[in-house]
Amino acid sequence: MAENPFDAVVAGSGIAGLRAAIEIARGGGRVAVLTKDSPTDSATDKAQGGLAAVLSDDDEVSLHFQDTIDAGDGLCHEGAVRVLVEEGPARALELIDWGARFDREGPRIALAREAAHSKRRILRAHGDSTGREIARALVATAAGEQGITLVERTFSVDLILAGGRCAGILALDESAGRPVLLRARAVILATGGAGQVFRETTNPPQATGDGMAMAYRAGAEMMDLEFVQFHPTALLLPGVPRFLLSEAMRGEGGRLENAAGDPFMTRFDRRGDLAPRDIVARGIVREMRRTGHPSVYLSMRHLDPDFVHRRFPTIAATCARHGLDIGRDRVPVTPCAHYMMGGVKTDLWGRTSIPGLYAAGETACTGVHGANRLASNSLLEGLVFGARAGRAILSDSLGPLPGGMLEDEPGEALSIDPESAREVGGSLRKVMWEGAGILRDAGGLERSIAATLDLERGLARRRATRPGVEARNLLFVGRLIAESALRRRESRGAHCREDFPDREPGRGRHSIIAPGAPVPDLPRLAVPGGD
């Protein structure tokens, strides 16, 4: 176990976590970055579409601001949106200075357009591998910083609380098979989202809501967890993992068709295939219901096949492995869980309701996305608010850490029996997809809540294992999603209640889960004299 405290521990090595760590290290701090697997194995690495930032003369920050507000359906925190769009260009140019190789048209950065954007402002890399290129550049930059220690294959289990503040993280070193205690003046949660709550998801296996669950267990405020974005187009083939087909495909002229070959999205929105994601996802589900067909189709057959293959090389190669040519074939697609707009409630500098605890990226909720995230704002959010969380830690007066040793056995945690974890996860994903998915009503949400509570009865304090703790985390986050969705008796953005189809008048209200919400059997690690 670590004896010397860090200035900060960052849980997660995606775009938000690495950007925060670089900010801290360049300010003279000493920071450990924990990652479940390898540093590049994150949701950032899988992001296809791009990074939204105003970098052209025919675009304006005010237009990016308004596009984001419009997509958020009356729930965006306008201050957070202003920070995002005003600081975004500098953060994007900084990435280029750090070696990120975005696609170019001659000497200029090539800018694409995606649904609900009024201008071409999407930076992309290698056509459809933007996240991978950003992750490569950030990992290389972080590795060159003396103040950063990258700790691989180390799974964050619980927060350490002491003296009314966060004082570190209990983690599991999977390579050595032993618990590790990392004490720190500050902790940043940047573990990404919780897509694995749902049976159908584009998220990687690591997206098990770890940061959200740890914060909730520690008593941090949570916000807007009912708002889960479902990406409209994921590859649907029997026995094949759901693979995201970028929204940029529709931005470049791709169109959605039903089984009979008819375009249908204009029946649901005047913008047709370029409507915001929530509208497109619901339109697809309703068209599948109407036709009785298990999918709709994304077609680019009316475009130049050479352009299609050149613009989307990764998607083309993946589909080709399954016998589909995206330039000539209609590709079967279905919506899948993709992104959490809600999360750990923070201010505009990543501060949570617990002193010493910060959050950034998809784990956090500043209110910047409102009820529905605008395409390609997620990578930008990680850059902008990751850097801000790092700066806040450098400037906040956090004081020395309380002394003392741990009272509890550091290898134990509230979790699911590891032998049962896979079965529990499968049951949860099924009930959440059926009861708390794209189209919701009270009955389905109540069944989801009852099922998660029943599954939680298997929780107990036992030796920590990654499968057992991940299953615990998914149970907590899944229940909070369903409970938040049941309380919101309206339809807004990505949250659609078929029994409450209208939006409440005026601006929306954020849903807050306050500290002290009842949770079964939640012992916390403690330091003598602390919480």
- Mean predicted confidence (pLDDT) in 1-17: 82
In terms of Cβ atoms closer than 10 Å to its own Cβ (0-12, 13-18, 19+), residue 519 is middle
Q: How confident is the model at residue 405 (pLDDT cuts 50, 70, 90)?
A: very low
Domain match, 215 and 253 both = no
Residues 465 and 420 in one domain: yes
Rounded CA separation 415/122 (Å): 41
- Band (410; pLDDT cuts 50, 70, 90): low
Token pair, residue 37, equals: 């697997």
Indicate whether 28 belongs to any domain.
Answer: yes
Q: Which CATH number goes with the domain that contains 422?
A: 1.20.58.100
DSSP state of 463: E
Identify residue 115 by its one-letter amino acid code: A
Percentage of the chain modeled with pLDDT above 70: 93
β partners of residue 178: 173
Q: Which of 31-40, 159-168, 339-348, 503-512 has the highest mean pLDDT?
A: 339-348
The residue among 434, 430, 454, 453 whose CA lies nearest residue 444 is 434
The mean of the pLDDT values for the chain is 91
Is 400 inside a domain boundary? no
- Which pLDDT band holds residue 521 (cuts at 50, 70, 90)? very low
> Does residue 472 sit in the same domain as residue 328?
no
Residue 516 lies in a domain: no
Q: Looking at 202-206, 279-283, 366-370, 395-399, which range is the least confident one?
A: 395-399
pLDDT tens track for 447-468: 999 999 999 999 999 999 999 9
In a domain, 315, yes or no: yes
Residues 304 and 326 in one domain: yes
Supply 227's token pair. Answer: 């708002």
Task: Verify that 182 and 296 share a domain, yes or no.
Answer: no
Q: Is residue 407 over pLDDT 90?
A: no
Task: State residue 528's pLDDT score.
Answer: 30
Does the residue 518 lie in any domain?
no
The 8-class DSSP code of residue 503 comes to: P
The span from the CA of 494 to the CA of 280, in Å, is: 10
Give residue 2's pLDDT.
44
Return d(Cα 194, Cα 370) in angstroms, integer. 18
In the numeric block, the tokens 């916390």 are attached to 524
CB 273 within 8 A of CB 254: yes
User: Residue 5 pLDDT > 90, yes or no?
Assistant: no
Question: How many domains does the chain fold into?
Answer: 3
CATH code of the domain containing 29: 3.50.50.60
Q: Is residue 386 part of a domain?
A: yes
Q: Is 332 strand, coil or helix?
A: strand
Q: Is the pLDDT of residue 519 over 80?
A: no
Average pLDDT rounded to a whole number, residues 477-494: 97
Residue 489 has φ and ψ, to the nearest 5°, of: -95, 60
Q: Which residue has the higher pLDDT, 526 or 386?
A: 386
Q: Residue 47: which pLDDT band, with cuts at 50, 70 and 90?
A: low
Report phi then psi at 284, rounded to 5: -65, -45
| Residue 129 pLDDT | 82
Verify that 36 and 106 share a domain, yes or no.
yes
Measured N-to-C along each axis, helices 130-143 and 78-97 cross at an angle, to the nearest 10 degrees, of: 70
CATH of residue 311: 3.90.700.10
Q: What is the pLDDT of residues 243-256, one digit of tens each?
A: 989 888 998 999 99
Mean pLDDT of 300-323: 95
Cα separation, 99 vs 419, whole angstroms? 44
Instruction: Round to whole Å and give the CA distance between 514 and 333.
Output: 38
Asked if residue 264 belongs to a domain, the reply is yes
CA distance 111 to 103: 8
pLDDT at 303 over 60: yes
pLDDT over threshold 90, residue 404: no
Task: Give yes or no: 121 in active site.
Answer: no
Give which of 320, 340, 270 is closest to 480, Cα–Cα.
340
What is each CA distance from 96 to 4, 15, 93, 136, 252, in whole angstroms? 35, 14, 5, 12, 24
Tokens for 507?
A: 């601006």
Helix (H) or strand (E) run with residue 450 in it:
helix 442-456
What does the pLDDT average to over 62-91?
Answer: 97
In whole angstroms, give the CA distance from residue 221 to residue 10: 19
State the residue for tokens 């170019």. 104
What confidence tens digit (pLDDT) does each residue in 112-170 have? 888 789 999 999 998 778 889 999 999 999 999 999 999 999 999 999 998 889 999 99
Sheet of 343-345, strands arranged across: 364-365, 343-345, 222-223, 512-513
* Residue linked to tokens 């077609």: 299
Query: So what's the pLDDT on residue 164?
Result: 86
Mean pLDDT confidence for 179-205: 94
In terms of Cβ atoms closer than 10 Å to its own Cβ (0-12, 13-18, 19+), residue 460 is middle
Assess whether 180 and 286 both reside in one domain. no
Contact status, residue 139 vs residue 16, Cβ threshold 8 Å: no
Q: What is the pLDDT of residue 114?
A: 81
- How far apart (Å, rounded) are the C-alpha atoms in residues 486 and 503? 15
Instruction: Give CA–CA dist 379/391, Å, rounded.
Output: 19
Say if residue 107's pLDDT is above 60: yes
CA distances (Å), 28 to each of 25, 88, 145, 332, 455, in order? Answer: 5, 24, 10, 51, 45
Are residues 263 and 272 in contact, defined by beta-carbon separation less than 8 angstroms?
A: yes
Q: Identify whether the C-beta of residue 260 lies closer than 8 Å to the C-beta of residue 288.
A: no
Residue 134: give the domain boundaries.
6-225+341-395
- Same domain for 163 and 102, yes or no, is yes
Q: Which residues pair with 154 in a beta bridge?
A: 173
Q: 205 and 114 in one domain? A: yes
- pLDDT confidence of residue 246: 86
Q: Which pLDDT does position 43 carry in this prediction?
A: 65
First to last CA, the chain: 21
Separation CA 110–CA 500 (nearest Å): 43
Check residues 371 and 4 and name the one with the higher pLDDT: 371
Helix (H, G, I), strand (E, B), or coil: what is residue 426? Answer: helix
- Is residue 398 scored above 80 in pLDDT? no
pLDDT of residue 177: 85
Helix (H/G/I), strand (E/B), else coil: 222: strand
In a domain, 31, yes or no: yes
Give the model's confidence band at 525: pLDDT under 50 very low, under 70 low, under 90 confident, else very high: very low
Q: Are residues 25 and 160 in the same domain?
A: yes
pLDDT for position 516: 54
The predicted structure's pLDDT at residue 338: 94
**Lowest mean pLDDT, pick from 37-41, 315-319, 366-370, 485-489:** 37-41
Residues 93 and 160 in one domain: yes
pLDDT band at 397 (very low <50, low <70, confident <90, very high): confident
pLDDT at 18 over 90: yes
Set 136, 277, 351, 479: catalytic member: 277
- Asked if 153 and 283 sit in the same domain, the reply is no
Question: How many C-beta atoms lie closer than 10 Å to residue 376's C-beta?
Answer: 28
Q: Pairing relation of β-strands 296-299 and 165-173?
A: unpaired
